[in-house]
Structure 1
Amino acid sequence: MHGSPIGEDQLLKRVWRRETDCPPKLGGQLKVSLAAVIAIVLVFCVGPGSIAQVKDARGAALLDLTVPAVAISADGRQIALVLRSGVQQQLHLRSLDTSESKPISGTEGASTPLFSPDGKWVAFFAGGKLKKVALDSGQIITVCDGAPLARGAVWGSDDTIIFTPDTASALLQVPASGGIPKPLTERKDERSHRWPELLPGNRAVLYTIAKGGSWDDGQIIGQRLDTGERRVVINGGTAPRYLATGHLIYVHGGALMAVRFDAERLEVSGNAVPLVPGVLMEARDGAAQFSVSKNGTLVYIPTNVSSTDRRLVWVSRDGSVEPLKAPARAYEHPRLSPDGKQVIVGIAGDSPNIFLYDIAANSLKQFTAEANNALPFWTPDGKRVAFRSTKAGSWNAFWKNADGSGTAEQLTHSQYLTEPGSVSADGKWLAFTEQTPTSRRDIWLLPLDGDRKPRPLIQTPADESTPRFSPDGQWIAYVSDASGRPEVYVEPFPQSGPKWRISTSGGREPVWAPNGSELFYRDREKLMAADIKTTPAFAAARPRLLFEGNYEGPLSSRANFDISPDGRRFLMLEAFGQREALAEIKIVSNWLEEVRVRVR
């Protein structure tokens, strides 16, 4: 075949050639081509060797790229992929000497695969748990609970797994054989420690913290595990990995960078060199899609796999879809105005900001400009938009007149990470979350009249987030992982009282129906609805499925959808361009030689 196209009828029949059959210009590169929602097409070229193409008849696709979706074993012989067929997400395993990938039974809902050092196990996260599967027998073991929104993991040579359990935590460690996770690091003024990497001897760890509005502004921290001493290793980057050549690699500006690194002193030397352009990095969470084996085989997903652009779509209760005319952008957290005529929405990027979309006029106008701004929502009277901003330094809550007049007014004055959630129906209270170095997120109240002195509303060892007042102001919905996984709860307001769990198998993104008769939330790809009655006493019916689909999920638990004022349809975000684009996964063998030559 030597570089010429292969017809679809040949794809199912094609098998590996010998290394000597590979065209020299393709030597050292492996490509996995993925038709985004139709099929996965794999093109392998291993070493200065073979090339072959195989079409996976199951129609699997790589769609969820918000967390790591690919890993390679230490010996470079096997690749673990998170693939999705329809709405089923599952681990697949492919050996480089075979012609097809195989799904791993019992790994439904998996994310963030990682191999054990000996290559006999693959660990993954699913259902709020850290699990591992034996590749010889298929046995699945739960390592630990309490990992609802994992943001990276590494399996050490001492058979300990270090991981970030959610978007608001430091690193934890747990024996790979199972146990109760123990804290490994402590947060200071940062929100979380993500994408860990152990250094040789398991004496120090690298991780990423957010700085500024983009993960290109992130800091890679090196921390000694015996003394707790930490230092900034890289200013501007994410997802560090150490190479046996004495180099540190990480992603910045969409490129895989490399720099000389002293693992004992936790110091870099010389200039960082961009080696591989176009490596996919998820803008909101800093997840970088690459993995390197001990023998120097690099696997990565290029940026053309998934555009960050999304389009606004109406989805009716039966699941039918109608796109809005708004141009595709990196939208997040859309909110409809109380009259349903406008949408206030964030647009992610190096400098995230908030935009106002007029539905009838089909006009998109920038609403905020100074600093970084995100997570907007309307006050119940539609006169203001509240949001979080770095205008005063750290993230705090602000609001601004909805017509754009005047200047933004700061509402909270915290040195810690705060996130506004909802304003009560009478306009007297702002519910927001705050996270300190010694706690996870808690829910606070800010009186919008008087002295504006915050007070705690829900404060427990669990992570509580996403407070949403009911339309009548008598109840508040929120998300808590007190049960070991995120669930949706409701409590009375302003009087304290018993709480009711609404979701039954995990839930995030609570949204009240405009008349308060239903509470909606999402359980992965499922949009669920629970009928609510508040008289003569509060009662919630068993949740029912409205529809299921691959719509954009939330950054944490905050709703990434909204409901129309008449309660008949939902405003969702749909990935744009994936159905048309041909995506690839690339693998480069003997890549360490390039690192040695180019980074001295």
Structure 2
Amino acid sequence: MAADVGQLLGAPVIAPDGSEIVVSLSTSQGAYLFRRPLKSNHMIRMEGTQSASLPFWSPDSHHIGFFADGQLKRTPAFGGSFVILCDVVEPRGGCWNGDTILFAPNLRGIFRIDATGGTAVPVTVLDAGAGENSHRFPVFLPDGNRFLYFSRSSSLETRGIYLESLDHRQHRRRVLVADGQFALGAVPDSDQHFLITQQAGKLVAQGFDCNNGKAFGAEHILLDHAGQVSASDTGALALRADAQVRSTLVWRDREGRHLGILGKPDDYWQATISPDGRFVAIVRHDALTGIFRAWTASLANGQMEVLSDADHVDSVVWTHDGKMLYYRDFVQRKLFRRSVDPRGPEEFVQSIAGGNICGLSPDGLTVIVERSKDGIHSVIEWSAISPLQWHLIDSNGFVGSTGLSPDGRSLAFGSNSSGRMEVYLASFPSMKNLRRVSVDGGSCPRWRQDSEELFYIAEDQSLMCLDFSASERNRGMRPKPLFRTALANPTRSPLYDVASDGSRFLLLERDSSISGGDVELLLNWPSILSD
């Protein structure tokens, strides 16, 4: 049908009446919702759905709910203006009964809101003591009151699909162990239902009694690969294979030539080289548990080992001597540090609210963070580590990433305040001499260790270079393309780093051993159950 690489765009969802499918796909103009009637091969782009993700249908198949621009929206399926229902930061799925919509913000419980809008209220609560860190992907049962959802947890004893109800008469209980997003499928012309889940990399169906809310019977393997799935009441099933779970840490020179690989493919979210060139600090994610830990890799022998005791690390940054790492646990909201060689204990530094740690001053006394204001716009703030007293740098847009020059004099950051993502540069901390330095789009700035070169990723994914040496300043400092990258997921940052002398780069690239991202369609999946 179509190919796409965005994991968080959501499952391709089939209308309850089985007439058509809607899916969020990436285009050169950004993500959009596309409709495809099942009797046609033509994809129809839905205008007014730019940046849309995680669509879901109304029960009458006449409207579509989706998330875009930090908001929950609804739109007529066959054309018309969208309606904003409420703000939602980092959504993780939604569903719709007659007059109620359930939706899941990341790292929180399930919320409900009237289908016409209003005030959103929570209907489930995380059990942090049991290791739960996110309720997501709600699915209504046919009675429109009870619903299922996936509880992500650091413990296998609590992870799985749970049953609850809007009126809270249904006592919460786990009905099945599963590995993530799932669907409730019906056998046409019967009252039989099956839970269609991801189990050990396969797509599996197991009987589910909607009356007593219990799974039963044998598991049936539908497909030997898994992904994000939806099903209709007509026996149709759609699947988007997970193509972007893994990335590879690849070394390349300034011409883009392949120099080698660090470690094995995994779900990496950040890699940063120590200033002394001895180690790489990595943020590594376990999608099943939601755990993010900081790791280090020795460049002498390639050995990787866990660095952080904290298990929800969202950013790591080196001290300028390369001896210590600072990192934040976004659940505990605490800043930690740890010496790397020799390995020291994990030290609590300071309680710190939301925001990615993106820089330390050369003396290690000042920290810079990026914070989201509303899920759409961001700000940059800096403070002495102790005591904290934040100073605001308003980027007036979404911040792609921020990079403090190693000499501590200049701050580079990405912002879409002009209508597209560009890289800006200003003196730090005064923020004087603010100017745009990218041409035709840019994000994710990174510095050479002597602060003489600044690199960034252009809109076409080329790695660009700005030379700040005296000779180049006299020539106007035009950015120069080095090579075209193949970064794993352009929505994450930083996705690469540069060696201290600027001679080579470490990039988080798409894992070429994984094919997929295709949207597959099974028109009569119950027929497989008899095999």
Q: TM-score, with normalisation over the residues of structure 2?
A: 0.68
In the alignment, is the contact (CA less than 8 A) between 2:271 and 2:495 conserved in 1? yes
Following superposition, the deviation at residue 79 of structure 1 comes to 2.3
Q: For each residue in 1:476-530, what CA deviation from the matched residue of structure 2 results, as whole angstroms up to 9, or x when unmatched?
A: 999999xxxx9999999999x99x9999xx9986767867899988899779999
Quickly say closer, same or farther: Cα 1:151–1:475, change in 2 above 3 A.
farther
Which of 476, 487, 498 lines up with 1:551 in the alignment? 487
Following superposition, the deviation at residue 221 of structure 1 comes to 3.6
Q: Give unpaired runs (5+ residues) of structure 2.
A: 187-191, 373-377, 393-397, 467-478
Q: What does 1:152-171 correspond to in 2, within 5 Å?
A: 152-158=93-99, 160-165=100-105, 167-171=106-110
In the alignment, is the contact (CA less than 8 A) between 1:396 and 1:410 conserved in 2? no
Output the amino acid matched with 1:153: G
Asked if 1:427 is matched to 2:364, the reply is: yes
Asked if 1:381 is matched to 2:321, the reply is: yes
Which of 292, 297, 305 lines up with 2:231 in the alignment? 292
- Alignment-derived partner of residue 475 in structure 2: none
Quickly say closer, same or farther: Cα 1:366–1:161, change in 2 above 3 A.
same
- Alignment-derived partner of residue 354 in structure 1: 295
- Alignment-derived partner of residue 537 in structure 1: none
Following superposition, the deviation at residue 446 of structure 1 comes to 10
CA distance in 1, matches of 2:278, 2:302: 13
Output the amino acid matched with 2:198: V
Q: What does 1:566-581 correspond to in 2, within 5 Å?
A: 571-577=506-512, 581=515
In the alignment, is the contact (CA less than 8 A) between 1:513 and 1:563 conserved in 2? yes
Q: What does 1:143-182 correspond to in 2, within 5 Å?
A: 143-144=84-85, 146-147=87-88, 149-158=90-99, 160-165=100-105, 167-177=106-116, 179-180=117-118, 182=120
In the alignment, is the contact (CA less than 8 A) between 1:477 and 1:490 conserved in 2? yes
Q: What does 1:171-570 correspond to in 2, within 5 Å?
A: 171-177=110-116, 179-180=117-118, 182-185=120-123, 187-188=125-126, 189=128, 190-212=132-154, 218-227=159-168, 231-233=172-174, 234-244=176-186, 245-259=192-206, 261=208, 263=210, 268-270=214-216, 273=219, 275-280=221-226, 288-302=227-241, 305=243, 308-312=246-250, 314=252, 321-327=256-262, 329-330=265-266, 331-340=268-277, 342-349=279-286, 354-356=295-297, 358=299, 363-368=301-306, 375-387=315-327, 398-403=336-341, 405-411=342-348, 422-428=359-365, 471=406, 551-553=487-489, 559-563=494-498, 565=500
Quickly say closer, same or farther: Cα 1:248–1:583, change in 2 above 3 A.
closer
Following superposition, the deviation at residue 412 of structure 1 comes to 6.0
CA distance in 2, matches of 1:442, 1:272: 52
CA distance in 1, matches of 2:312, 2:338: 12
Output the amino acid matched with 1:383: K
Quickly say closer, same or farther: Cα 1:398–1:61, change in 2 above 3 A.
same
Following superposition, the deviation at residue 326 of structure 1 comes to 0.9
- Alignment-derived partner of residue 469 in structure 2: none
CA RMSD in angstroms comes to 5.6
In the alignment, is the contact (CA less than 8 A) between 2:86 and 2:120 conserved in 1? no
SS where residue 345 of structure 1 aligns? strand
Quickly say closer, same or farther: Cα 1:490–1:584, change in 2 above 3 A.
closer
SS where residue 334 of structure 1 aligns? strand
Quickly say closer, same or farther: Cα 1:148–1:269, change in 2 above 3 A.
closer
Quickly say closer, same or farther: Cα 1:464–1:302, change in 2 above 3 A.
closer
Following superposition, the deviation at residue 294 of structure 1 comes to 1.4
Q: For each residue in 1:69-102, what CA deviation from the matched residue of structure 2 results, as whole angstroms up to 9, or x when unmatched?
A: 422121223222334456754433333322x232
Quickly say closer, same or farther: Cα 1:563–1:309, change in 2 above 3 A.
closer
**Bigger mean CA offset, 227-236 vs 410-419:** 410-419
Asked if 1:586 is matched to 2:523, the reply is: no
In the alignment, is the contact (CA less than 8 A) between 1:315 and 1:572 conserved in 2? no
Asked if 1:64 is matched to 2:64, the reply is: no
CA distance in 1, matches of 2:452, 2:125: 40
In the alignment, is the contact (CA less than 8 A) between 1:336 and 1:344 conserved in 2? yes
- Alignment-derived partner of residue 6 in structure 1: none
In the alignment, is the contact (CA less than 8 A) between 2:410 and 2:427 conserved in 1? yes
CA distance in 2, matches of 1:550, 1:356: 22
Following superposition, the deviation at residue 333 of structure 1 comes to 0.4
CA distance in 1, matches of 2:7, 2:424: 29
Following superposition, the deviation at residue 431 of structure 1 comes to 6.6
In the alignment, is the contact (CA less than 8 A) between 2:423 and 2:442 conserved in 1? yes
Output the amino acid matched with 2:525: W
Output the amino acid matched with 1:356: A
Following superposition, the deviation at residue 110 of structure 1 comes to 3.4
CA distance in 2, matches of 1:97, 1:115: 18
**Bigger mean CA offset, 557-566 vs 71-80:** 557-566
**Bigger mean CA offset, 247-256 vs 71-80:** 247-256
Following superposition, the deviation at residue 192 of structure 1 comes to 3.7
Asked if 1:96 is matched to 2:38, the reply is: yes
Quickly say closer, same or farther: Cα 1:68–1:549, change in 2 above 3 A.
farther
In the alignment, is the contact (CA less than 8 A) between 1:154 and 1:163 conserved in 2? yes
Q: Percent identity?
A: 24
Following superposition, the deviation at residue 415 of structure 1 comes to 13
Aligned residues: 496
SS where residue 385 of structure 1 aligns? strand
CA distance in 1, matches of 2:424, 2:112: 29
Following superposition, the deviation at residue 309 of structure 1 comes to 3.5
Q: Give unpaired runs (5+ residues) of structure 1.
A: 1-41, 43-59, 281-287, 436-440, 532-543
Quickly say closer, same or farther: Cα 1:322–1:65, change in 2 above 3 A.
farther
Quickly say closer, same or farther: Cα 1:419–1:549, change in 2 above 3 A.
closer
SS where residue 382 of structure 1 aligns? coil
The one of the two structures with greater contact order (alpha-carbon pairs below 8 A, sep at least 6) is 1
CA distance in 1, matches of 2:60, 2:245: 35
